[in-house]
Structures are given as C-alpha cells and as structure tokens.
Structure 1
Amino acid sequence: MSVALLAGTAEAQTTIEELVVTAERREQSLQDVPVAVTAFTSEKRDLIGVNTIADLTNFTPGLQYSSQLDRTSLRGVGRLTNVHAADGAVAIYTDGVYNSSTVLSAAKGPIFVDRVEVLRGPQGTLYGRNSIGGAINVISKRPTDEMEAEVRANIANYERTTLEAAISGPTTIQGVNFRLVASWDKQRKGWIENIVPGYPDEGNIVDTKIVEGQLQFEFNENFEGWIGVTLQKWDNGGGGPGSRQTWTPAPYPTYSSVASGLIMNPGYGCSGVPTNVVNASPMGCVNPALTDPRKIASTVPYKVKLNDTVVVTSEWIYHFDDIDLKYITGGTRYHYYLRGPTPADQTAPITSFTLPGGLVINPRYEFDYQEIEQWWSHELNLASTHMGPLQWLAGLYYFHETYDQPVFTEMKSQPQVAGPFGLPNTFCARTFNRCAPNANQRIYDNKPHLDIESYAAFGQIDWEFAETWKLTLGLRYSKDKKYGYEEVRVLCFAVASCFAAPEVNPVVPGGIPVVDLTQLASVVSSPAPGAPLPKGVSTYTSYDPASGFARRGYDDSWSAVTGTAGLQWEPNDDTMVYGRYSRGYKAGGYRIGIDTVLGAAPFTDEETADAFEIGMKKNFANLQTNVAIFHYTYQNAQVPLTVAATSGGLAQAQSIFYNIPEAISQGFELEAIWQPIDNLQILFNYSYNDAHITESVGTVDPADPAALDKDAKPVGATTTTDVFTAGVPGGGFQRGQNLDGQHLPNAAKNKFAINVNYTWELSGGGAITPSVSYIWRDEQYGSVFNRSYTLSPSWDQIDARITWLAPGEKLKVILWGKNLGDDVGYEGGATGFRRAGVVNRNTLAGQPPINVVQGIASTYPLTPPRTFGIELQYKFF
C-alpha cells in the first residue's frame, strides 16, 4: 500500500516507516501531502508482486489501465481513443518529464524505479498538462555514492525468461556518479493457443529490451545536475500493446458477411468450409473462441515492434540562499509498429475460393498501424527552500510534439485491387474521371500528421497561518495549439454493394468490382467551396490525381485557467485533515486517422473538471489509514463514436468526436496498513466510485443505431433511415438516446484488494516472508451506452509469493504465482458492435438483395491466465 516504506532487510520487512514522496514537487512525508496519493517503492513492489501496470491498478483505488490499448483512467476520467490528436486524461511523468505513453514509463520494473506515485484527482497546477484525471509520477533509482551491483533472473511458465542487471557508483571524475541498467524479457509460448497448424500462438509473445544509463553531477555545493537516457526495443509477436488480448464469445450472431457475400460462421478465426452463396450448402465451420477465451484460429500473425525509441530526461538545479532554480527537460523519439488481421472475424485458414463466374477470392485482410512521434518539453521553476510559514513555487512550461500515425489495410493476395481501373470512371469525377492506380493494394489508407504545442505558467503558495493550519493556493494558465493535415484513400473490393457499380477492372474477363470511394460525399466529407468548414478544419478537401488521396488541414487552439485551493489541519503529529478544490483541464483535439475517413465532425472541445475532496491521514499505534471523499463535476468528456452506416449501398460509417455535456464522479477511498503483531502486516484498500452522466441527449449507439435494446431511451424524432432494421418492430430508423444516469466507461463501482504478509526471522540470519493477495473488481461498462453487450462481469484473483532472504542479505529467492485459480478477469468494460449489419445472400446479377439483421456481439478485454515462476536476485555490493 501507499503508506509504508518497506526496506530490503529482514528486520524491516514488515515495519511501518515513513515514505517520502514528491507529489507536490518537493520532498514531503506522504502523510503530510494534502492529496490522495498511492505510492509504491521498489521494495514494496517486490514484496506484494506489483510487476506490471495492471498490478498497479489492483492496489490503487480508482485506477484502471488497458494493457492492450495503453489507456489509463482515474476515478472514471480517462482516455477512450488512441488517436494522438486527442490527449490522455492522466498525465505520466518520468523524473519530472511528461510522457504521452503509459507503457514507456510506468511499465519498467523495480530494478529501474525507486518509486511510483499515483496522484488521484485533477492536478491542474503543478502537473497541468492533461492531468484532469490525475498524474502518475515515476521516479528512477539514481546513481549512488558507493559501488552497488545486482542481477535478477525470473523464469516463468509459458517459456518466459526475464534477465536484468544494474550497476551504480562513482566514476573516476570527482563529483560524477553513474548508473547502468539493462533488462531482457522474452516469452516464447502464448497465453492464446492458435489451432491452425504452422501458425504462431498469441498472448504476450514478447521480446523486449531496455537499456538505461544515468550520470549525476555535483559541480559544487550550489550546482548539481542529472541526465538519464533510456533505449527501448520490442520485437514481439502476438504480444504487447495493440496485440490480441480480447475475447468475443458465444452466442455470436447467426450470420457474418465477408467479401463477395460469402457466408461463413461468424467470429475471428473461423476454420472450415464456407457456405456456397448459391446452393446454401451447410456451414462446416467451428470457431474455437466460441467457448474458450484462450484459443483462436488465425492465419495472419500479429507483430508488435518498437524501433528507434529513445527517452531522455534531465534535471539541473542551482541552490541560491533560500531558493532553488530548477530546469527540467527531456523528450522521446518513438516509433511503434503493429501488424495484424482485420477485420478480426474474417481471419480464417482458407487460402482461396472461387465464386460462381470464376472470381477467385483470397480472404486475407491485413492492417498496418504505426505511431512515429517526437516530443520534447522544458520546465523552469523557482521554489522556496527557507524555513518559515510561507513556501512558494512558480514556473514556466513548454511542450512540443510532432507525430505521424499512418494506418492501412491491404490485400496483397488480391491483384485486382492494384488496378489499372476502367475508364472513364464516374466514381473519380473529382480527378477528371481517372482513378489513380493502387500499386500497394491498400483497401484503406490514412496518413495523419499533426504538431502539438503547449505553453503554461503556474504558481503555488503554502501558508502556515497558524500553528496547526495551512492554506494552499495555486493557479495555472495553459494554452494548447494543434495543427496539421490528414490524407486518406478508401477502395471497395468484391462486396455486395460494389457489384452494381459501373467501375470494373478490365484485367479479368467479365469485370471485377473495384470501386474508389474516396470521392463520394457519403464517404469523405467535402464541403463545396465557400460552404462553412467543419469546426477545427482549416482547408477544403482536395484530391490528388496521381495518388488518389483526399486531403484536408486542421488548425485550432484551446486555453484555460486552472488551479487549486486547499485548507489543511494538523492537530498533532499523527493526524492530518484536508479539504481541497481543484480545477482540471484537457485540451480539445480531433478524431483523425486509425479508422476515420475525413468525417464531418472530427473536432472536440476541451474537457474541464471541478473537483472537491476531503481527506484524512491518520497514524495510530499500529495502524495507518488514508481516507478520501471526492465529488467532481466533469464537463465535455471526449467520447469517440462511429455513426453507423444505415442506408446500405456505398455509404460508410463516420467517425466523430462527441462531448458529453456533463457527468459526475464521486466516491470514497480507503487505504490502510495494519500491523497487529510484530512481523505481520495486512495491507488493504477499497474504493467506491459512482461515475455517471447527468446530461446527454441525442447520442446514437453505434451498436444499436435504431435504439431497439430494452434499456435504450430513444429521444426526439427519427434522424436517418436504417434499412438494416426495416421490418423489425420499432426498427427502420436511426435514433438518438438519453444517456442520463449511464455510468462512465471503465469505472468499476467497487474495488478492493488485501495483502497479508508475515516475516519469519531465521536464527542463522535471513528471513522467509510469505505474501498472499486477494483482488476483487466490480462489473464495469466499456461504453457510455450501458447495455448487456458492453458490460464486463465482476471478477476476482488470488496471488501468492514466498520470499527467502539469505543470511548476509545478498541473495533473495522469490517463488510467485498470479491468478492461481486461472480465472477469467477483465481489464475494462466490454465493447459491443453490430456485425456487418446485413448479409446480402443474393449477390448475382439481377437478383435483389436479402437483408438479414445480425444482432450485436460483445468483445471483452482479458487479464492474463495463471502464471507462476521463480525469481533470483543477487546483490554484489
């Protein structure tokens, strides 16, 4: 828990000691900080088994993290998209430097990190950028004055091996110390078995390497500095952020359509014989994932890579009399690469098949997704260091990020997609009826580029105006600017809606439908010259005849004044009570790239939150408790939605950003550590979080656009015809809904964890410490539409560890196991989606289509299965 500093000696294994944190940018005892903070030292992480960010969520009230999507939320305030044109809501700081990726910073193990501090609630003054939900502060282990060295080896099931080493100490240069750390983590067998012979398993197939070097300088008694450089490389298979870690179980909808109207059993990894569209022969297809979350059948392997990734952090301090001048700077060069199957339910071990008429279909769609980013920040601050009732801190901040986020879907096994395309072509009227060739055979291709700049000035004072009372006031001004462009091209190949198209490929006798959709108004937003542009869009859509891409520009800015006001009462050394108001802000942005096609409403306004919190931190003789009660008013939560295509034909679904006008997040949190007898500790935390929408009317559910679900609350008149539900009672329309009372996504209402550990001190020296943890998490929704198909059930988990510390305290051996019951757990709420919407079973010329409503499927983000292993740690000095 956050309230104990557990040293690495046998004597102190279960001693309640003071924990010093820097949550308010200066060193303080955790019990004196008037903010809800959970902190983990490296020793504590080893003791209770906090090795991953997911483990961090188990022991931190209100914290939720998706390891597949690298998204974090606190108390229901979080990120719902990976589009970098929209920011995260929980700020990640590594040694004082902002990082937009949680996994790059917080995923490093105890050999790298001295402690992790999770600050809950808006941190709008000192951690201003995107800290509307809170902040995670990662503090590295620093170089030491004396020589230290250690090695660690962890061997686990699923053929996983982790090797780590660190060395630290003085250099031959006076006043210069160093630290060097390296880690290699490799897992060869996946958590998810692929039943297709010759194709790899998935689920945490990883090969990751981290090397970190640090130098610390003490030039004289007034001037000191520090710099750290981290290199990271991933060469993973089906493992790491972005890879498959979800489950879409039975019951599936009855039908699922794929290219050319071929009907197959639904679900990703369908293995078997497709149904003939003419004679409707039986479907001979069994999907192993129908009943088993740890099995798939896939012929398109995942690849997850991280190349050329460098993280630099640096801090320079000059100590004046009573004032410190500090300059913090650093940044990241980051190149993430993901490749895999898409759509997931069309992946099958079928190399090809022939339709009536001779068309050969190779049903292998693969996607390629990248994040190519660079960001750098500068912070200059002045802080008082004198003794006295008034303490203050003031600073300036600048941040700049440049990113490209290209994504495409290709059909390398389908040569017709490359062209040449027939002429003249009315679908390419904007490029003089000539469709550009498509040599790379991409069905969907999107290339966004954006620059992001942030400026801020901030200050905070702490005034002890009476012996037991302290007043805190803080203020911050922030301005954010985002500008760039997006290019996209979309083609349609051999699907039912393309068969009637006039565009044909002359290479194959009889013609094959390949339609360029880029220039259609039903696909790409393209206001006429002189017409109003969508908000945030800076240029009209243009079309390149050579490449076939549509392009438009973006440019907008946001600003806000945020701050904090708090009152703190310390009647004695063991009690601190505080009340605090904080205002948080997160810049607006755009939904561009990934799955968009220049939609009509890409812009989103900024988010704000007004948060009130009352807390108490109390030390008893053998019990330490931290309690917090909070209430937020949360405005303009940014929710990405896909407006379903409902008219059939060539219309495409449109991706938009929607601002929820108002929501509430309120609750109660308790963290405690109890030592009833010597050497026995019981660590406990519990959180209650009621995060729900109070105002939102007219939003359309992408999974249920006609609002037919029994829990839907349709409002107003119908807006759009929905041919896919025509004939169904109440169907035939697209309708908005009233979301009042709906829970915010990924916010479990109740969550608790308990750890019990006991240390036996051995007569010959050393100690043995068994440690058992129980974690339980309530059900949670994955969408603002609280439906049965977006609800993940509650779940629990038991972890256990036995640590042997050898005499002399140089060797430590840990036997560990996680999820000992091999239970299915859920990282977040489920995603509900309407299948392709319709099956057109009559795709032959002259035959009218037959619409079949398919229903809604649910996809659940899963936690790992049972894992166990042994870890050896040895300290040389």
Structure 2
Amino acid sequence: MASSAVLAAVLTTTAHAQGVNTIEELVVTAEKREQSLQDVPVAVSAFTSEGRDLIGITSVQDITNFTPGLQYSSQTDRVSLRGVGRTSNVHSADASVSVYSDGIYTTSTVEAGKTPLFLERTEILRGPQSTLYGRNAVAGAINLVSKRPTEEWYAEARAQYQNYDHSLLEFAASGPTKIPGVYFRVAANWEKQRKGWIDNIVPGMPDEGNVIDTNIVEGQLKFDFNENFEGWAKLTWIEWRNGGGGPGARATWTPAPYPTTEALFSTAITLNPGYGCNPNTTNVVNPSPMGCTNPALTNPRKIASTIPYDVDLNGTYIFASEWTYHFPSFDLRYLTGAVNYNYALNGPTPVDHTAPITSYRLPSLIPGGNITVNPTYAFNYQERENWWSNELTLISTHEGPLQWLAGLYYWDENYTQPVYTYLPNEPRVEGPFGVPAVLCAQRAGVCPPNPNRRIFDTAPEFDITSKAAYGQIDWQFAETFTFTAGLRYSVDHKEGVERGRLLCYLVAGCFAAPELNGAVPGGIPVVDITENQWSSRPVLPEGVDGPTTFDRATGYAMRKLSDTWKEATGNVGVKWEPDADTNAYARYSHGYKPGGYRIGIDVGFSPNPRTEKETVDAFEVGMKKTFGGNLQTNLAAFWYDYKNAQIPLSVINTSGAVAVSEAILYNVPEATSKGIELESIWQPIDNLQILFNYSYLDAEITEGTAVDPADPAALNARARPITDRSTCRATVYGDATTTCAADVYTSPRPVVNAAGQTTQISANPDPNGGFQRVQDLDGNSLPNAPRHKIAINANYTYDLPTGGAIVGSVSYIWRDAQYGSIFNRDYYKSPSWDQWDARVTWQAPDNKVTVIAFIRNIFDDLGYEGGAGGVRRAGSVYTPPAGAPIVNSVQGVYSTYPLTAPRTYGVELQYRFF
C-alpha cells in the first residue's frame, strides 16, 4: 500500500514560520532504518508533534480519523486496520495491530494518545508487518517515537483549559549534563477533568464520561560513549486516579427501556435490578427521579446508575533502552525494555443497562416466598502484567546496491486477569448455600463460605513467550528497480491456569422461578453451581491439560491450559522509481497471529477455550507521486485473503435450565478485505494547504456459519438460517443427536422437564421460533470496517507584518456506517456520522510563545467509535400457579452504541524557555 506521505507532508509543514508553507521531507524508521517517508515501499501514515498541534490531533481517535482503514475504541482500547483487528478484552488473545513504544512491544494503545510534548512522531504501518514487526502484526503496527534528549538546552511549559472543567499542565526540559557525552530529558504531565460528558441523574452520584486525573513522569538519558558506541534509556511512571473516565469506563449509549424480565440475558445468574420494575414486586426502592424510565431514551448523555465507574492505574512503570555499536559496514543494535502494569476497573453490572433499583420484594405466591431482594450488582476487573522484551539486530550501513538486516527477538510475559461480580448489599450470598448435597458433592457435601459476596469469580494466570528470527534484503538490481524480500520464523507459547467459582442467586435457572425460592429447603436463595457448570467433559478439548479439579477449602475450580503456535511469515516486493518524484511498488506479505484462549472476563470454563491462529495473505500496489512541488497524491489498492479471524462469540443457553453461555473465540474460516486509498495534499496558493483523504474498504466474510447471540432463533428479517424450522422440530423432538438446540423463549408451545412438569412457556410465542438455528455468514462485513471514510483539512498561514503568524485550520470528518458483529443486522449497526473541528494558532515572532484556541465537534453531533452491540433481553419463562401472571418474556433486541466526545472547546498556551 502507498504510504500516507501526503498526510505526513501537511503535518510536517512549518506553518507558523514566516514565509510560504513548504512540504518538508519526513524521515521515518518504519523499516528499522532511517528513510524518507516517500521512499519507503510500505504503507505508512506519520504524525509529527508539530503537525498534531497544527491540525488538532490530540487523541488516538483523532489519529483514526486521518489514517485510512484505522479504527479504535477508547473504551476497550482495541485497534483494527482494514477490517483486521482484535474485538475482545481477553488478554490471552493477542492484538492484531502491534503497538511499539520506542521499539518495545506493548499490549495497550493508550501511549499513542500521549501529547505532542512527549512524542516526536507516530507511525502507523498498514498491512501485515510480517518480517520486521512480526509479533502479532497481522494487521499492521503502530510505532511511537519519543522526543529524545537534546545536546542544546531546551525547556517548555504548556497549559490548557477547556470546558467540562478540563485542565492540562505539562513541562519538559533537556540538555547536556556535567558528564561529557551524557544528555538528559525530563517531562511531566498532569491532566484532570472534573465534570463528565455523561450526566448521572441519580442524586448524589457522580457524572461520568472522561472524568480523569492522570499523571505521567518520564526521564531519559542519552550516552555518546565514543564515535562508535551510543546508548539511550527511558523510564516512565504513569498513574490514573480516574472516576468515570479512561479505558474501560462508560462511553456508550443504550436507548432502550429497562428490561423487567428476570434476567438481562438468558444466562444471567442473579436476579437483576430491573426486575423491580415488574408490576408484581412491592416495596421498591428506586432513587432515580425518572423511576423505571431510562433517561437515555431521550438523551444520549444521561444515565441513572447507583454504582459509578472507577478506573485506576497504579505502580505502572515502563522501561526502554537502545544500545548501538557502529562497525565499519554495519550496526549492531540491542533493544530491551520491560513493563510493570497494574490496572483496575470497578463499575455496575450487567452491561450498564438496568434500572437503578436498590431493593424490592418478590410477590408471596407460596408460603415463605415473600423475600426481599437487594439487587445492586457490581464488578471488578483487573490486569496485572509484567513483561520483558529483547531484540538484537544487525543492520547494514555500507554503500552499495545490496542492503540487509537480520535479527533475533524474545518476549516473556506474565499476567493475571482477575474478574469478579458481586452483590455488595446481599449478605445471603455469603452462605450457607442451597441443595449442597447435589452441587457440592465433590467437596464432601459442603460448600465453602463466600465472604466477599461474589457471584461470578475468575482469575486466569498465564505465561506467554514469543521467539523469532528474521532477515530482510533490499537489492537495487537496476537503476530504477529495487527488490525486497524478508522472512521471519516465530514460535509462540502460552500456558497457565484458570480458576473460578460460580453461584446462582434468585433466578429461575436455579430454582424454577424467583417466586418459588421459599420452596428451597431452608429458604436459601443461593446455590453454588461451580461443579455443575465447570466440570470436565469426558473428552478434554484441545489446549486443556488435564481435567478440572475443585478445592474443598475455597470452592474454586481449576484447570491448566497450554499450547504452542508456529509460523513462517515474510514479504516480497518490488519498487520502481523512474524519477525523484515517483515511487511505485507492488508487495506481497504473509502475516500471522498466534492462537489463544477465551478465558476470564465474561466467561467461565468454556468447553472449547482454545482458538486457532490467524493468517493473512496480502497483496498491495501503490504509487506516491509529487507534481511540481505543490501537489502530492498517493493512490493504492489492496486485497487480503484472511483466514481464521478470531471473533468473540457467545453460544447462549436458551434451554431455561441451569447453564451459562459458552463464550468462545470463533474462527471465521475465510474472509477477504479489499480497498482503495487516496491521500492528497494541494497547495494552490502560497500559505494555503488542503488535505483530502479518502478510503474505501470492503471487508467481508466469504465462508462461515454461526448462531447469532442476539437472535438465536434466526427470526430477524435478514437472518439466513441454513436449517429450516421443520427440520429442527423433527430432530429435536425425534432425534437425541440433534444439532438444533431448543429455544424456550420463542417456543410456540410449553416445554416439559424430565419430571413431567411444565416449566417454561413463551408469553409471546413466535410460530417460527422454538429452536436455535445456525446462520450463513457469507457476505457479512467484518466488525468495525466502515466502507467509506473521508477526512479534509484546510489550513492557512497569515504572516503578521510585525513578525510571527496566525494559522487557521478547519477539519471535516465523515465516516460510514459500520457493524459491531459478524452478523450484519440493524441492532449491530452504528450510523454514519460527521464532525467539524476548528483551530486558530498565534505564533510569536521569537517562537517562544504559542497560543491555540480550538473547538472540536462544533455542532455537537453524535459520532460512533465503532459498530454497535446487540443484546437479546430475555429471562427464564415460567408458568406460575393458576391465576398468577406470567412474569418473564423475551423483550426484543437492544443496541448499545460507542460514542465519541461531545462538543469541547478551550485554549492552550505554550511557552519555550530556550
């Protein structure tokens, strides 16, 4: 693919200086050696610190606006490129877009949002980087290059204030030390937003939406030992004390009524607060001024929640260093770094979309059945990681037609990802537990107590290693032609354990119906179902090392997981440069991402936790062309053959029995991604530059079948089931080996259990329902792959007669609709959207002072970071005693949309001391 050299050109323009704007050459390290961006036969978008200030690129989301094919979710911290990406927060499933901070691989994209005071340059390499950045770079790589120590004295302070009481203070300084050949740089940042973008209408509860309090402190040393040996080291400390802001916090909108069925999902394990909105409940405590009406129905930025989000990052240190020895004809470079990362997220459960009811009483349909419920339901999610990276590279530096590089890579990571949900106001879940002789048999009939009141509790711990050897040659075999070939061999190993415990509280899957909980011996409304759900199957699935064991003392289940993935990857390409202003090339790349496991977070012990590796065969052609010095155009086309995309999918339980969903990473057998990307910059008159960026992306599945979790019975008008209902009916009721699971929530007739009791019946039967039906995925788009994207920026520099300059900059962004799932349904679809931004910059004559006034999202329109999520709201269905109403039913499919920021505006002051 052609690089985004056009964008880089506008972003490196010296717009604040007196005189005509110029399109300057930008040097990048996309191929691990310094090269002009226009000469690199790789698809690269580059953003310099000066350019980011000029246009107003202040976040990772802004970078996606100006990078073809790039998508990013600030809530989940997940990236995709050209339809290839990671859509799961399961840490044992790797990212598809590798992020490198000063050459060190990192599992998060957050550092790409550092301010221009910290980052010299951000490079986005599109397409499989299968030789030089082979660690999971099946979609591409993001290189973050820090500003380095200077040999001359430098110091700068910046202050910013914007609406929502958002302030930013930062400072940086660098220069020589008293030790000859040793230079330093220090930088610090404090950012705080006190008012949230999302208004919580519950009295006394805080607002949410980018409520942050973050700090970054960074120190660097650069060593020039002699003319042959040099070194550099960086240590960064990061801390977040956020409220409802930062990765993981609430940034979504669900314009739907609160569900009043027993469960939000058919697999829920606790009676949800929204059940208190059911007319059969009494003594309801609901602090929301709007009661059981969701304020988001009429206002996308209003919520009613009794549990706030809280995002913290503590004790997080990032170390990186690079050491280079210059031999006469090559360099020996050693790059090493380590990270200690501690992230914690607290918030409401489930899925932030239920009435803020804190207490209610169930109807007394039988003696002893009148029970008070305290349904406040919360979660805690943590990531505790540490890793060490080592890379040794030999790079040719001699003159001649043949250039080469070779390297060895080793990565070692350990992480734990504990996640639990709990009922903080419900002491009954501490124990004792109902029917222990049945469900705690392996623990001598005794269920251990649960002092932390946790309902779902899981704690996977993994060790991950990645080893690779790679090499690449560039051979200029003719005056205008250069041939490139690279090869990498990778071995990725993952092993660890998952531990967990699962309880069931007041839901029909455990007790027939909540109104009958008094019938449970002793009136105990809690059951420990860990063994019932997480015991091993007779045949162990691939990647599982041994049967599940149970600890009598703690009640936890445990099993071991281990597997290894290997792959040879590489690239072949040819570049043609008939003149100094033309670079045309064709390139083939084979990329790979290792398999992983769907464990932790939102899933128990999945019967099939392992996933296969992904591969991509990518073909790209492109041209970078400059016309007369005032017009640059880059036109490119690509085609991918994408196999085994790892897509998170829930195989939901619709039987009404005690069962939880099977959450898997579904490997989509075949998909293609193809597109065209045009980037241009035009300087029609002095001091005026116009950037036009357009991309077309067609990323679709060509082979695959699955059940839609939001529509398991395939009742949607666009559903394409591969089995008709009559076949399912014949097999379900006449063949024990059927592949059509029953769906009691859409069944047109009662379902009778083994004891001959009528236990389920649909309140709203559908004549086409009753069964889960697999659907054909052929032709569906891959998630988060908008077909069209447009970005336009115009900036004009007015040179003041007394010196200095004023620069005006206006940007327009438009993004097409996109889906958040492999099922292309309206409930997974985010609409198209657009946004206008503007900035005015005043530059002092001596270049010491800069003042920037800005406004973003001028018209306060809704924007969408990615596709929507769709959820089927359904509870277990029960026929109560004669005369009592049916209280549970399917309530349709609701959508949740990931929103971009509202209108923000403010002013920034920059002062340079030296």
TM-score under structure 1 length normalisation: 0.95
The amino acid across from 1:315 in the alignment is: E
Distance 1:194 1:550, change over 3 A: same
8 Å Cα contact 2:259/2:354 also seen in 1: no
Q: How do 1:495-644 and structure 2 match up within 5 A?
A: 495-500=507-512, 511-520=523-532, 523-527=533-537, 531-621=538-628, 622-644=630-652
8 Å Cα contact 2:511/2:517 also seen in 1: no
| Residue equivalent to 1:152 | 158
Deviation at 1:291, TM superposition (A): 1.7
Pick from 856, 869, 874 the counterpart of residue 893 of structure 2: 856
The amino acid across from 1:671 in the alignment is: E
Alpha-carbon distance between aligned partners in 2 of 1:281 and 1:478, rounded to the nearest angstrom:
58
| Residue equivalent to 1:118 | 124
Deviation at 1:597, TM superposition (A): 1.1
| Residue equivalent to 2:72 | 65
Alpha-carbon distance between aligned partners in 2 of 1:249 and 1:259, rounded to the nearest angstrom:
15
8 Å Cα contact 2:90/2:598 also seen in 1: yes
Alpha-carbon distance between aligned partners in 2 of 1:3 and 1:63, rounded to the nearest angstrom:
19
Alpha-carbon distance between aligned partners in 2 of 1:228 and 1:62, rounded to the nearest angstrom:
32
Distance 1:466 1:505, change over 3 A: same
Deviation at 1:818, TM superposition (A): 0.5
| Residue equivalent to 1:806 | 844
The amino acid across from 1:156 in the alignment is: Q
| Residue equivalent to 1:22 | 29
| Residue equivalent to 2:220 | 214
Deviation at 1:269, TM superposition (A): 9.5
List runs of 5+ in structure 1 lacking aligned partners: none
Alpha-carbon distance between aligned partners in 2 of 1:259 and 1:751, rounded to the nearest angstrom:
35
Alpha-carbon distance between aligned partners in 2 of 1:67 and 1:13, rounded to the nearest angstrom:
38
| Residue equivalent to 1:174 | 180
Pick from 69, 78, 81 the counterpart of residue 85 of structure 2: 78
Q: How do 1:358-397 and structure 2 match up within 5 A?
A: 358-397=370-409
Q: How do 1:250-329 and structure 2 match up within 5 A?
A: 250=256, 252=257, 255-257=260-262, 275-277=279-281, 285-329=292-336
8 Å Cα contact 1:801/1:817 also seen in 2: yes
Distance 1:707 1:309, change over 3 A: same
8 Å Cα contact 1:756/1:773 also seen in 2: yes
| Residue equivalent to 1:439 | 451
Alpha-carbon distance between aligned partners in 1 of 2:81 and 2:500, rounded to the nearest angstrom:
34
1:200 maps to 2:212: no
1:430 maps to 2:442: yes
Pick from 815, 827, 836 the counterpart of residue 865 of structure 2: 827
Alpha-carbon distance between aligned partners in 2 of 1:346 and 1:875, rounded to the nearest angstrom:
48
Alpha-carbon distance between aligned partners in 1 of 2:779 and 2:535, rounded to the nearest angstrom:
33
| Residue equivalent to 1:243 | 249
Q: 3-state SS of the aligned residue for 1:720?
A: coil
Alpha-carbon distance between aligned partners in 2 of 1:509 and 1:532, rounded to the nearest angstrom:
35
Pick from 92, 96, 108 the counterpart of residue 103 of structure 2: 96
Alpha-carbon distance between aligned partners in 1 of 2:666 and 2:517, rounded to the nearest angstrom:
40
1:456 maps to 2:464: no
Q: Which stretch has the larger CA shift, 304-313 or 285-294? A: 285-294
8 Å Cα contact 2:282/2:361 also seen in 1: no
The amino acid across from 1:637 in the alignment is: A
Alpha-carbon distance between aligned partners in 2 of 1:869 and 1:421, rounded to the nearest angstrom:
56
8 Å Cα contact 2:260/2:278 also seen in 1: no
Q: 3-state SS of the aligned residue for 1:519?
A: helix
Distance 1:260 1:848, change over 3 A: farther
Deviation at 1:628, TM superposition (A): 1.5
8 Å Cα contact 1:780/1:792 also seen in 2: yes
The amino acid across from 1:688 in the alignment is: Y
Alpha-carbon distance between aligned partners in 2 of 1:713 and 1:849, rounded to the nearest angstrom:
31
Q: 3-state SS of the aligned residue for 1:394?
A: strand
8 Å Cα contact 2:261/2:274 also seen in 1: no
Distance 1:301 1:707, change over 3 A: same
Q: 3-state SS of the aligned residue for 2:51?
A: helix
Alpha-carbon distance between aligned partners in 1 of 2:473 and 2:264, rounded to the nearest angstrom:
64
The amino acid across from 1:239 in the alignment is: G
Alpha-carbon distance between aligned partners in 2 of 1:846 and 1:658, rounded to the nearest angstrom:
45
8 Å Cα contact 1:840/1:849 also seen in 2: yes
Pick from 758, 775, 798 the counterpart of residue 796 of structure 2: 758
8 Å Cα contact 2:392/2:409 also seen in 1: yes
Alpha-carbon distance between aligned partners in 1 of 2:552 and 2:535, rounded to the nearest angstrom:
18
Superimposed CA distance per residue, residues 43-80 of structure 1 (whole angstroms, 9 cap, x where no aligned partner): 00000000000000000000000000000000000001
Q: 3-state SS of the aligned residue for 1:625?
A: strand
The amino acid across from 2:746 in the alignment is: T
8 Å Cα contact 1:501/1:515 also seen in 2: no
Deviation at 1:285, TM superposition (A): 2.1
8 Å Cα contact 1:226/1:316 also seen in 2: yes
The amino acid across from 1:247 in the alignment is: W
Deviation at 1:651, TM superposition (A): 1.5
List runs of 5+ in structure 2 lacking aligned partners: 1-6, 729-739, 749-765
The amino acid across from 1:722 in the alignment is: D
Alpha-carbon distance between aligned partners in 2 of 1:373 and 1:763, rounded to the nearest angstrom:
56
> Over aligned residue pairs, what C-alpha RMSD do you find?
2.5
8 Å Cα contact 2:20/2:686 also seen in 1: no
| Residue equivalent to 2:230 | 224
Q: How do 1:33-72 and structure 2 match up within 5 A?
A: 33-72=40-79
8 Å Cα contact 2:185/2:220 also seen in 1: yes
Alpha-carbon distance between aligned partners in 2 of 1:709 and 1:93, rounded to the nearest angstrom:
43
8 Å Cα contact 2:499/2:559 also seen in 1: yes
Deviation at 1:539, TM superposition (A): 1.5
Alpha-carbon distance between aligned partners in 1 of 2:177 and 2:16, rounded to the nearest angstrom:
28
8 Å Cα contact 1:583/1:608 also seen in 2: yes
Q: Which stretch has the larger CA shift, 505-514 or 162-171? A: 505-514
Q: 3-state SS of the aligned residue for 2:643?
A: strand
Distance 1:260 1:381, change over 3 A: closer
| Residue equivalent to 2:909 | 872
8 Å Cα contact 1:334/1:374 also seen in 2: yes
8 Å Cα contact 2:258/2:293 also seen in 1: no
8 Å Cα contact 2:92/2:462 also seen in 1: yes
Distance 1:747 1:732, change over 3 A: same
| Residue equivalent to 1:738 | 776
Deviation at 1:8, TM superposition (A): 6.8
Superimposed CA distance per residue, residues 524-562 of structure 1 (whole angstroms, 9 cap, x where no aligned partner): 2512xxx42101111211111111111111000000000
| Residue equivalent to 2:494 | 482
Alpha-carbon distance between aligned partners in 1 of 2:434 and 2:778, rounded to the nearest angstrom:
52
Q: 3-state SS of the aligned residue for 2:63?
A: helix
TM-score under structure 2 length normalisation: 0.91
Distance 1:21 1:841, change over 3 A: farther
Pick from 812, 819, 833 the counterpart of residue 774 of structure 1: 812
Distance 1:293 1:424, change over 3 A: closer
Pick from 683, 686, 692 the counterpart of residue 691 of structure 2: 683
Distance 1:317 1:720, change over 3 A: same
| Residue equivalent to 2:485 | 473
Alpha-carbon distance between aligned partners in 2 of 1:506 and 1:286, rounded to the nearest angstrom:
30
Deviation at 1:780, TM superposition (A): 0.2
Pick from 650, 663, 675 the counterpart of residue 658 of structure 2: 650
8 Å Cα contact 2:433/2:528 also seen in 1: no
Deviation at 1:3, TM superposition (A): 2.9
Q: 3-state SS of the aligned residue for 2:496?
A: strand
Deviation at 1:254, TM superposition (A): 6.7
Alpha-carbon distance between aligned partners in 1 of 2:276 and 2:475, rounded to the nearest angstrom:
73
Q: 3-state SS of the aligned residue for 1:3?
A: helix
Deviation at 1:271, TM superposition (A): 12
1:162 maps to 2:172: no
Q: 3-state SS of the aligned residue for 1:611?
A: strand
Deviation at 1:841, TM superposition (A): 7.7
Alpha-carbon distance between aligned partners in 2 of 1:94 and 1:210, rounded to the nearest angstrom:
15
Q: 3-state SS of the aligned residue for 1:572?
A: coil
Aligned-pair identity in percent equals 60
Deviation at 1:287, TM superposition (A): 1.3
Alpha-carbon distance between aligned partners in 2 of 1:673 and 1:178, rounded to the nearest angstrom:
37
Q: 3-state SS of the aligned residue for 2:673?
A: strand
Q: 3-state SS of the aligned residue for 1:286?
A: coil
Alpha-carbon distance between aligned partners in 2 of 1:45 and 1:801, rounded to the nearest angstrom:
11
